Chains A and B, each alone.
Chain A
Amino acid sequence: ELKVEQNPLFLSMQEGKNYTIYCNYSTTSDRLYWYRQDPGKSLESLFVLLSNGAVKQEGRLMASLDTKARLSTLHITAAVHDLSATYFCAVADWETSGSRLTFGEGTQLTVNP
């Protein structure tokens, strides 16, 4: 059974600081997704990482993928209040379960002024 684990689950940080969210998964998947969810809202796609060593950046967020370590990171640079949300990573295990996504528990990020 595919397992996806995120840490930390809760993160409170000050504006202007840097931090990293980690996503570990138990399969050899080569496709990893990051989503953002605001309270009471649906999921917004942030990044899709397709191969080992992939790195993508959008604004203050940068995501990377290491398929050998089965690890993805979401790095936050100089956090601002608008980044407060819950961030999910999700993995597709194409070999065993096709395109269905298995999600981590989410990291609830709060950026304080």
Chain B
Amino acid sequence: GAGVSQTPSNKVTEKGKYVELRCDPISGHTALYWYRQSLGQGPEFLIYFQGTGAADDSGLPNDRFFAVRPEGSVSTLKIQRTERGDSAVYLCASSLTGFRLAGEDTQYFGPGTRLTVL
């Protein structure tokens, strides 16, 4: 079946601009996660959605970052007044439930959006 998809695959923007990154999770997955991966590092958690609500947004670096998931499926990560330090690969993942008692509940990752801020 279809996996997690993300658009665009690459985004180049100028410092100070606004960007939106989109994630389409696996159908039926209620849990959705955003991570950010810098070159040579492991992914770092940004935000977790359970259905439509943000269950944990403690990884968002500052108030320039915001994410929504209005219908409990597609999610959009929004970055205002982009800075060069925001350049990274933004990864989206989804899992069936996000709950501990759900067994393995593997997080499946999308291909990522490579954001470059000039």
Contact = CB atoms under 8 A, between A and B. Distances in A.
Interface of A: 4, 31, 33, 35, 41-45, 48, 50, 88, 90, 92, 94, 97-106
Contacts of A102: 45
A11 to B, nearest CB: 15
Interface residues of B, number: 30
B72 interface: no
Given A99-B95, A99-B98, 10 more contacts: A31-B100, A33-B106, A42-B111, A45-B107, A98-B98, A99-B105, A103-B42, A103-B44, A105-B42, A106-B42
B112 interface: yes
B56 A106 contact: no
Contacts of B95: 99
Give 10 closest A-B pairs by Cβ, nearest first. A103-B42, A48-B104, A43-B109, A100-B45, A99-B98, A42-B109, A42-B111, A94-B100, A45-B106, A103-B43
Interface of B: 31, 33, 35, 40-45, 48, 55-56, 58-59, 91, 93, 95, 98-100, 103-112
